[in-house]
Chain A
Amino acid sequence: MRAYERFIEIVLFLFAITAVLTVLLITFFVFREGLPIIFSEGILNFVASTEWAPLSGKFGILSMILGSVQVTLGAIILGVPIGVACAVYLAEIADKHIVQIVRPGIELLAGIPSVVYGFFGLSVLVPFIRNHFPGNGFSILAGSIILAIMILPTVINISETSIRSVPEEYKSGSLALGASHWQTIYRVILPAAKSGIITSVILGMGRAIGETMAVIMVTGNVTKVAGSIFDPVRTLTGNIAIEMGYAAGDHRLALFATGVVLFVFIMVLNLIATFFAQKAGEIK
């Protein structure tokens, strides 16, 4: 019996190690392929130049770094308030019947493939923006709206869980002191659920920054720094996906280097976010 237990433990350990090894392997490979060209071009030339013409040996990805940031930021600005409001409603206000309708709807939203979001964006959203705003429709705004919808399930689910896990005493205490329901939500429950809500935002950001297909289809993929939210941009993930089909030699390595930057980018973002999440946790 003991040998059997041991055997199971070893099998499980092997599976656990596989995941970690895969991560290490991919990291190693991406950095090995991408780093040399970053160094031979010069880090500054690579991340601080906006000139991307890989066939003429110009590898500046600043416009794409900015593109990723702008589209993600837009998605957070549009998506988080809606998501958190929805979570508050579901956890605190809605009666059971409404929850039973809304929650499957949100789950359905999470199950739609990203290319479908992209196609919806390309055939509905882009023409709409083109007809009602300046520019030709392919824009930061279009990308942000699509991503905002895509991060909703993440934001709503995690925020709702954290709101529901606020101890009942906090709420009854606040109500007993004479605060209204809204005051209780605003002053007691939301601050208490803060770290969970911030977590949901971070995960939403992760989803938004990593999303590729839907973004490519609606943002126009121009390698130029955008002047307004109605201008087209290209994101880091978009750059890899668009050009990998034909890239060879230095061009291909430059795409790996784009991957390295994306990698570092996500790590830095997460460190900042984790720092704030911990801070929020301490205050609580």
Chain B
Amino acid sequence: MQKTALVLGLLILALALVFTGCQQSAVKQIPDESNESGSEEKLSGSITIAGSTSVQPLAEELAQAFMEKYPDVKIDVQGGGSSVGVQSAYEGVADIGTASRELKDKEKPYGLHEHVIAKDGIAIVVNPANKAVNDITMEQIKKIYTGEITNWKQLGGNDAKITVVNREEGSGTRGAFTEIVMGKDAKFRDDCIIQPSNGSVRQTVATDPNALGFISMGMLNDSVKGLKVNGVDPTPENVVNGSYKIARPFLMLTKDEPQGVVKAFLDFVCSEKGQEIVGKEYIRVK
């Protein structure tokens, strides 16, 4: 009997190992378009991209597609964080630095060339049965997540406790939400329900009339209601025109005017093909 339970325990661990092992292998197959580019001159060279871990998966996918089109180009995508991305573009350590936020004031004098490749928007969602609350402010969202506001009554809704749903630590959506809504000092209340994906947050909110959560805008559907934030509807258009505030740009930064293979890559990212890849999970800018 001891052995059986031992094996059981090991199996769980084995599964955990298997899944941890393949976290960086999700690369999609992109249709080959080499016929189109046959007339172009052959590109070769290498590009180093470093920076935001939020941009990293997207950058990797774009790089993969680009390398399939031009097999002689080698693109190396690294993480590090948005600040690292800005710094390495400025110092020339990387050909392209990435950031998942606007440049800070102290970074603006660097004179970097900014290329907005995508936008990432987060919708604040509630249960469709929650008819009274349709509009919320950034300040209120922050207070809900820090625990200052705990009842729908305080937002003009029914007298019911808010079930606050959060993502797990390390999640990119949670990271963006923290950055944009919570700011530096605010701490999440410690009794938020944690769900491990956009989908399960949505499912939780869809079944609990008193729940409030945040999901990536691409995941919005009829089972939940996206709230207006500061009076603005959560739509991709409002993210692109800048009126919806819980959004962030994905930037690719270069020190000088991009040239050669780097320019070709950035052009590819902004092309229909590149933006199609962007559009799978994020908001297109073109």
Tell me which of A24-32, A81-89, A93-101, A173-181 binds B: A24-32
- Tell whether B221 is near chain A: CB-to-CB under 8 Å: no
Name the A residues within 8 Å of B193 (CB-CB).
136, 138, 220-222, 232
Which of B20, B192, B204, B211 counts the most A-chain CB atoms under 10 A from its CB?
Answer: B20
Name the B residues within 8 Å of A277 (CB-CB).
1
- Tell whether B4 is near chain A: CB-to-CB under 8 Å: yes
A23 to B6, CA, bound (A): 9
Tell me which of B11-19, B131-139, B271-279 binds A: B11-19
**With known contacts A241-B196, A277-B1, A26–B14 Cβ distance under 8 A:** yes
A274 touches B203 (CB 8 A): no
The proximity string for A residues 119-141 relative to B, scoring 1 for CB distances below 8 Å and 0 otherwise, is 00011001100100000111000
The proximity string for A residues 246-259 relative to B, scoring 1 for CB distances below 8 Å and 0 otherwise, is 11100110011001
A270 touches B2 (CB 8 A): yes
Within 8 A of A (CB), among B1-43: 1-2, 4-14, 16-17, 19-20, 23
B16 touches A241 (CB 8 A): yes
B16 touches A259 (CB 8 A): yes
Output the least CB separation between A47 and chain B (Å): 17
> Size class of A's contact patch?
35 or more
B16 touches A206 (CB 8 A): no
A222 touches B20 (CB 8 A): no
Which of B10, B171, B193, B204 counts the most A-chain CB atoms under 10 A from its CB?
Answer: B10
Tell me which of A9-17, A35-43, A144-152, A260-268 binds B: A260-268
A234 touches B194 (CB 8 A): yes
Output the least CB separation between B211 and chain A (Å): 8
Which secondary structure dominates where chain A touches chain B?
A: helix
B9 touches A127 (CB 8 A): no
- Tell whether A191 is near chain B: CB-to-CB under 8 Å: no
- Tell whether B168 is near chain A: CB-to-CB under 8 Å: yes
The proximity string for B residues 144-183 relative to A, scoring 1 for CB distances below 8 Å and 0 otherwise, is 0000000000000000010100001111100000000000
Residue of B nearest to A118 (CB): B200
- Tell whether B208 is near chain A: CB-to-CB under 8 Å: yes
B11 touches A30 (CB 8 A): no
**With known contacts A122-B207, A242-B196, A270–B168 Cβ distance under 8 A:** no
Q: Which residue of B1, B10, B169 is within 8 Å of A26 (Cβ)?
A: B10
- Tell whether A80 is near chain B: CB-to-CB under 8 Å: no
Name the B residues within 8 Å of A126 (CB-CB).
207-208
The proximity string for A residues 206-222 relative to B, scoring 1 for CB distances below 8 Å and 0 otherwise, is 11011010001100111
- Tell whether A8 is near chain B: CB-to-CB under 8 Å: no
Name the B residues within 8 Å of A157 (CB-CB).
none
The proximity string for A residues 149-161 relative to B, scoring 1 for CB distances below 8 Å and 0 otherwise, is 0000000000000
A35 to B171, CA, bound (A): 25
**With known contacts A224-B190, A242-B194, A267–B8 Cβ distance under 8 A:** no
- Tell whether A163 is near chain B: CB-to-CB under 8 Å: no
B191 touches A222 (CB 8 A): yes
B207 touches A212 (CB 8 A): no
Name the A residues within 8 Å of B163 (CB-CB).
136
A120 to B198, CA, bound (A): 19
Residue of B nearest to A50 (CB): B190
Residue of A nearest to B16 (CB): A240
B170 touches A246 (CB 8 A): yes
Which of A123, A242, A273 counts the most B-chain CB atoms under 10 A from its CB?
Answer: A242
Name the A residues within 8 Å of B1 (CB-CB).
199, 202-203, 270, 273-274, 277
A185 to B16, CA, bound (A): 44
A136 touches B161 (CB 8 A): yes
Name the B residues within 8 Å of A248 (CB-CB).
53, 79, 170
A243 touches B5 (CB 8 A): no
**With known contacts A26-B14, A246-B170, A267–B6 Cβ distance under 8 A:** yes
Within 8 A of A (CB), among B47-105: 53, 79
B9 touches A206 (CB 8 A): yes
A residues adjacent to B (C-beta < 8 A): 23, 26-27, 29-30, 52-55, 122-123, 126-127, 130, 136-138, 199, 202-203, 205-207, 209-210, 212, 216-217, 220-224, 231-232, 234, 237, 240-248, 251-252, 255-256, 259, 262-263, 266-267, 269-271, 273-274, 277
25 contacts between A and B (CB under 8 A): A26-B13, A26-B14, A55-B170, A122-B207, A136-B163, A206-B9, A209-B9, A210-B9, A210-B12, A222-B194, A223-B194, A224-B191, A243-B196, A245-B196, A246-B168, A246-B172, A247-B20, A248-B53, A251-B169, A255-B16, A255-B20, A263-B10, A266-B5, A267-B9, A270-B6
B residues adjacent to A (C-beta < 8 A): 1-2, 4-14, 16-17, 19-20, 23, 53, 79, 161, 163, 168-172, 190-196, 200, 203-204, 207-208, 210-211
Other 15 A-B pairs with CB < 8 A, given A206-B8, A244-B23, A271-B2: A23-B6, A30-B13, A122-B207, A199-B1, A202-B1, A205-B5, A207-B8, A222-B190, A223-B194, A243-B196, A245-B23, A247-B20, A256-B16, A259-B16, A266-B9
